[in-house]
Amino acid sequence: MMAPFLKYGVFGSETSLVVAFLLGIGFGFALERAGFGSARKLVSQFYLDDLAVFKVMFTAIVTAMLGVTYLSWIGFLNLSLVYLVPTNLLPQIVGGLVLGAGFVIGGYCPGTALAATATGRVDALTYGAGLYVGTLLFAEAYPLVKGLHTATPMGQTTIPQYFNLPYGLVVFAVVLMALGGFAGAGWVEKKMATQRTIEPTAS
Amino acid sequence: MLQFFTTLSTNQRLALLAFVLGLVAIAATPARGGRVTVDAREMALLMEKGADRVPARTLADWIIQARSDFRLIDLRDPATFAAGLRIPTAENVPVGTLAQAGLARDEKILLVADDETRAAQAWFLLEAQGYKGVRIVEGGLRGWREQVMYPRVDGVDAAQRARLEAISAHFGGAPRSGETAAASDTMSAPAVAQAVVPVPPIPAAKKAAPAKKREGC
Judging contacts by C-beta atoms under 8 Å, the chain A residues touching residue B215 are: 83
Domain around B153: 149-195
A1 in a structural domain: yes
| Same domain membership, residue A128 and residue A162 | no
Asked if A85's CB is within 8 angstroms of B31's CB, the reply is no
Supply the pLDDT for residue B210.
52
Count CB-CB contacts under 10 A for residue A157: 14
A152 in a structural domain: no
| Same domain membership, residue B156 and residue B132 | no
B27 in a structural domain: no
Nearest to B216 among A83, A155, A175 (CB): A83
**B183-186 LR contacts (CB < 8 Å, sep 24+):** B184/B150
| Same domain membership, residue B138 and residue B154 | no
Query: How many domains does chain A divide into?
Result: 2
Instruction: Suggest the residue from B11, B14, B26 to mutate for an interface test with chain A (most A CBs closer than 10 A).
Output: B26
| Same domain membership, residue A124 and residue A52 | no
Nearest to A80 among B23, B25, B31 (CB): B31
Q: Which of these, B126, B141, B120, B109, lies nearest to B211 by C-alpha position? A: B109
Q: Which of these, A167, A67, A161, A159, lies nearest to B21 by C-alpha position? A: A67
Burial class (CB in 10 A: 0-12, 13-18, 19+), A17: exposed
End-to-end CA separation in angstroms for chain B: 44
Residue A129 CB-half CA count within 13 A:
6
Instruction: Suggest the residue from A68, A172, A189 to mutate for an interface test with chain B (most B CBs closer than 10 A).
Output: A172
Domain around A16: 1-83+158-203
Supply the pLDDT for residue A133.
95
Judging contacts by C-beta atoms under 8 Å, the chain B residues touching residue A62 are: 18, 22
| Same domain membership, residue B134 and residue B159 | no
Beta bridge partners of B54: B137
Supply the pLDDT for residue B187.
46
Residue A174 CB-half CA count within 13 A:
23
| Same domain membership, residue A102 and residue A52 | no
End-to-end CA separation in angstroms for chain A: 66
Asked if B21's CB is within 8 angstroms of A70's CB, the reply is yes
| Domain-ending residue, one of A99, A121, A147 | A147
| Same domain membership, residue B133 and residue B180 | no
Strands A153-155 and A87-88, by their bridges, are antiparallel
B209 in a structural domain: no
| Same domain membership, residue B48 and residue B131 | yes
B169 in a structural domain: yes
Instruction: Suggest the residue from B21, B23, B103 to mutate for an interface test with chain A (most A CBs closer than 10 A).
Output: B21
A138 in a structural domain: yes
B139 in a structural domain: yes
- Nearest-neighbour CA in chain A from B164: distance (Å): 29
Q: Tens digits of per-residue pLDDT, B25-67?
A: 888 875 543 356 677 888 888 888 888 899 999 999 999 998 8
Q: Which of these, A106, B67, B159, lies nearest to A116 by C-alpha position? A: A106
| Same domain membership, residue B94 and residue B127 | yes
| Same domain membership, residue B122 and residue B53 | yes
Supply the pLDDT for residue A199.
67
| Same domain membership, residue A131 and residue A97 | yes
Supply the pLDDT for residue A144.
93
| Same domain membership, residue A117 and residue A44 | no
Closest Cα in chain A to B37: A80
Rounded to the nearest 5°, which phi and psi values hold at A102? -60, -35
Count CB-CB contacts under 10 A for residue A93: 11
Closest Cα in chain A to B43: A8
Q: Tens digits of per-residue pLDDT, A51-96?
A: 998 999 999 999 999 999 998 888 788 887 788 888 999 999 999 9
| Same domain membership, residue A188 and residue A101 | no
| Same domain membership, residue B189 and residue B104 | no
| Same domain membership, residue A79 and residue A25 | yes
Query: How many domains does chain B divide into?
Result: 2
| Same domain membership, residue B156 and residue B125 | no
A74 in a structural domain: yes
| Same domain membership, residue B46 and residue B133 | yes
- Nearest-neighbour CA in chain A from B20: distance (Å): 9
Asked whether the beta carbons of B166 and B61 are under 8 A apart, the reply is no
- Nearest-neighbour CA in chain B from A13: distance (Å): 10
| Same domain membership, residue A140 and residue A162 | no
Supply the pLDDT for residue B180.
57
Which residue ranges of chain B lie beneath pLDDT 50? 32-34, 185-198, 202-209, 216-217
| Same domain membership, residue A79 and residue A162 | yes
Q: Which of these, B191, B203, B197, lies nearest to B67 by C-alpha position? A: B203
Asked if B21's CB is within 8 angstroms of A66's CB, the reply is yes
Asked if A178's CB is within 8 angstroms of B29's CB, the reply is no
Asked if A69's CB is within 8 angstroms of B28's CB, the reply is yes
B130: domain CATH number? Answer: 3.40.250.10
Interface A-B: count of C-beta contacts within 8 A = 92
Give, for A39, the enclosing helix (H) or strand (E). Answer: helix A39-43
| Same domain membership, residue A140 and residue A106 | yes
A153 in a structural domain: no
User: How many residues would you count in chain B?
Assistant: 217
| Same domain membership, residue B178 and residue B111 | no
Judging contacts by C-beta atoms under 8 Å, the chain B residues touching residue A164 are: 34
| Same domain membership, residue B127 and residue B81 | yes
Judging contacts by C-beta atoms under 8 Å, the chain B residues touching residue A67 are: none
Strands B70-74 and B53-54, by their bridges, are unpaired
Q: Which of B198-210 are b and which e, b meaning 16 or more Cβ less than 10 Å from the residue's Cβ?
A: ebeebeeebeeee
d(CA A152, CA B137): 32
- Nearest-neighbour CA in chain B from A98: distance (Å): 17
A3 in a structural domain: yes
B75 in a structural domain: yes
| Same domain membership, residue A37 and residue A127 | no
Residues from B in contact with A at Cβ < 8 Å:
15, 18-19, 21-23, 25-32, 34, 37, 39, 42, 45, 49, 104-106, 130, 132, 210, 214-217
Per-residue pLDDT of chain A (203 residues; tens, 9 = 90+): 677 888 777 888 889 899 999 999 999 999 999 889 888 888 888 888 899 989 999 999 999 999 999 988 887 888 877 888 889 999 999 999 999 999 999 899 888 999 999 999 999 999 999 999 999 999 999 999 988 988 888 878 888 888 888 888 999 999 999 999 999 999 999 998 888 777 665 54
Q: Which of these, B67, B68, B129, B136, lies nearest to B104 by C-alpha position? A: B129
| Same domain membership, residue A188 and residue A116 | no
